[in-house]
Amino acid sequence: MSRLDSFIRRLEAQRACLDWAIAASWDLAGVALELGLGNGRTYDHLRSRLAHAREIFAFDRQLAAHPGCIPDSDHLLLGDFRETLPALAARLGRGAALVHADTGSGDSAASQMQARGLVSLIDPLLNLGAAIVSDQDMKPDPRFGWLAQTLPAGVAEGRYFLYRKAG
């Protein structure tokens, strides 16, 4: 498979998983979290699909998004996740219905280690029943009550990972 075909399949899988999370969390109260704003494509997708039905908070180490895909200053948290996620948890408490964690880099081992470390930072923000989409296998500790979910049709195992916060 060419790199272009692989990229297209990754984006199609990402969209299918985001749409699953939007549907799965539709009836829950709470905000959406976009971990890894990047260039803003998935933030823009969430913004258009949610049609202002819920606030979206976007996180990244530094701003690199397309100008039309940058949240306002109240909804953009720049810096290390280990600082920005607890700061939002202190502000909101359990208030997230949907989380998209797209934090992978070219370093597979570092990406997996970071994803696993995010579980304990994300969990204090999750409402019961919240939907979580990740580009990495977060391997959540069972004590957090995250249940792995079946991927949408057409999404290859290992391409994305879906969870629900048990409740």
Write down the domain spans for the chain.
3-165
CATH homologous superfamily of 3-165: Vaccinia Virus protein VP39 (3.40.50.150)
The gap between the terminal CA atoms of the chain, to the nearest Å, is 41
**Strands across the sheet containing 56-60:** 76-78, 56-60, 31-35, 96-101, 126-134, 161-165, 146-148
> Other C-beta atoms within 10 Å of 25: how many?
24
pTM of the model: 0.93
pLDDT at 103 (0 to 100):
81
For residue range 21-76, list pLDDT tens digits in order. 999 999 999 999 999 999 999 999 999 999 888 999 999 999 999 999 999 999 99
Pairwise CA distance, residues 36 & 58, whole Å = 7
